[in-house]
Amino acid sequence: MGGYDLLIRAPRAILDSGEGPATVAVSGGRIAAVESGDFAPDAAAEVVELDPDTVLLPGLVDSHVHICEPGNTEWEGFATATRAAAAGGITTLVDMPLDSIPTTVNVPALDDKRAAAAGQCHVDVGFWGGVIPGNLGDLEPLYHAGVLGFKCFLADSGSDDFPPVTPAQMEEALCALRPLDIPLLVHAESAEASAAIPQPQARHYADYLRSRPRGLENLAVAQTIEAARRSEAHAHVLHLSSSDALPMIESARIEGVHITAESCPHYLVLCAEEIADGATAAKCSPPIRERQNQDLLWDGLRRGILYQVVSDHSPCTPAMKELESGDFGRAWGGISSLQLALPLVWTSARARGFTLSDVVRWMASGPARLASLSRKGHIAVGFDADLSLFAPDEEFAVDPAQLHHRHPVTPYAGRRLRGVVRRTLLRGQWVDYERPMGRLLQRTAA
């Protein structure tokens, strides 16, 4: 045995079997061997010996990221977003179909996205397609062009060029996607119910929270479940914030409905009781809810009802966040957290008795499975050698000046977290922030 490009000896590694020692050999950008005992090949171009304070993780997969290039690159671009991802141990992103111009609702728009991303990415990037009223005929061409799945909104998306669909249109899309065996991701808030609720124009977070009650999500999740039941297709509920919906999802899954769901770091770390009036850096949609609700979301992760944890990185300019006025009604609803997602989740997960293996399941293998990225999310032979060196016990305070995404606006400024990503590998090569080497991904067989 020999001739490997890289050999990593790790006293601690997160494998499918759990945490344990491993020697990982890399050849040609793939993992060629994983051995738990002594493993001494004849030759390796580079050998890395990790200390016991560093854990070898598979590169994380974030399947919910808004990169606003082309068209709104001043909000966020491929270079800055992927640099932030790599700094946070994320080696694969899947870009959402809106907040760029054009939106990814047909093949020419997908071509524009890929052209904008080419040569800029520090990690691998895939793309979701969009479902809007009137584009059913574009779904199969987008599938054959390589999108990893599709997304729709049941409520106003905030973008005029990405209008919401009705529940009936969502079901039509699910029926069209069923033979393709590809998921429909659903922003599950009810447009009909929200239309009857006045929108806040105030600095009071409590007013904003009242304008987006749990019932908006609960109704839309129920509609999504029934559409998935009737179509027998895969529906995935995005950024779940209402814990009320967990029993519905669990019950539907027991009944054989193909329904999955995710949550995000901000719902698992922040709570409404902590958000000061005027603190619009914490505005997102659906909103951050109460601490009791947060506890139940963590229970949903523990019981496997929630499928994954992803960032919903939704950037904008500082002016769009209304930081000076503090007006929750006018502020952009989105939180940028790519670089911080792993330490945010790990800090809270650890305090609740979870392990790094749990975090990897939520943030690497789970999102990779959703997007059918069959060579991502695991430290195993044949997988891409996407890896990160993570110091789980090291503490730091969030300094916005150290964040790589385009605008360092964050509700986490000054928060003390555990877990530092020391280095990141993409297909066996150390990420170099001056030399983009990410690839643009297409759907692969599961």
| Four-point Cα dihedral 303, 444, 2, 431, nearest 10 | -80
pLDDT tens-place string over residues 273-304: 999 999 999 999 999 999 999 999 999 999 99
Least confident segment among 138-147, 167-176, 435-444 = 435-444
Mean pLDDT of the chain: 96
Closest alpha carbon to 221 in 265, 196, 190: 190
| Confidence band of 201 (pLDDT split at 50, 70, 90) | confident
Report the distance separating Cα 244 and Cα 397, nearest Å. Answer: 33
Q: Name the phi and psi angles at 331, rounded to 5.
A: -70, 145
Phi first, then psi: what are they for 341, rounded to 5°?
Answer: -60, -45
Exposed / middle / buried, residue 414 (Cβ in 10 Å: 0-12, 13-18, 19+): exposed
Q: Where in the chain is the domain with CATH 3.20.20.140?
A: 58-373+394-417
Q: How far apart are CA 20 and CA 55, in angstroms?
A: 9
Residue 390: closest CA among 434, 429, 351, 357: 357
Homologous superfamily (CATH) for 58-373+394-417 = Metal-dependent hydrolases (3.20.20.140)
pLDDT single digits (tens) 424-437: 999 999 999 999 99
Mean pLDDT value of segment 135-154: 98
pLDDT value at residue 210: 95
Nearest of 101, 62, 66, 145 to residue 386 by alpha carbon: 62
Distance of CA 110 to the CA centre of its chain: 20
The residues near 256 (Cβ < 8 Å, ≥ 6 apart) are none
Phi, psi of 201 (to 5 degrees): -130, 75
pLDDT tens digits along 316-369: 999 999 999 999 999 999 999 999 999 999 999 999 999 999 999 999 999 999
Contacts of 429 (CB under 8 A, 6+ apart): 29, 437
Measured between alpha carbons, how far is 43 from 128 in angstroms, rounded to an integer? 41
Q: Are strands 47-49 and 55-58 parallel, antiparallel or unpaired?
A: unpaired
pLDDT, residue 444, reads 62
pLDDT digits (tens, 9 = 90+) for 3-53: 899 999 999 999 999 999 999 999 999 999 999 867 777 677 888 999 999
Helix axes 214-231, 167-177, angle to 10 degrees: 40
The predicted pLDDT at position 446 comes to 42
> What distance separates the 2 farthest-apart alpha carbons in the chain?
71
Say how far apart CA 411 and CA 407 lie, in whole Å.
Answer: 13
Instruction: Read off the pLDDT band of 180 (50, 70, 90).
Output: very high
Residues 347/352/358/364 CA torsion (nearest 10 deg): -40
For residue 2, pLDDT beyond 70 = no
Confidence of residue 1 (pLDDT cuts 50, 70, 90): very low
What mean pLDDT is predicted for residues 170-183?
98
Is-contact 81 62, C-beta < 8 A?
A: no
- Strand pairing category for 259-263 and 235-237: parallel
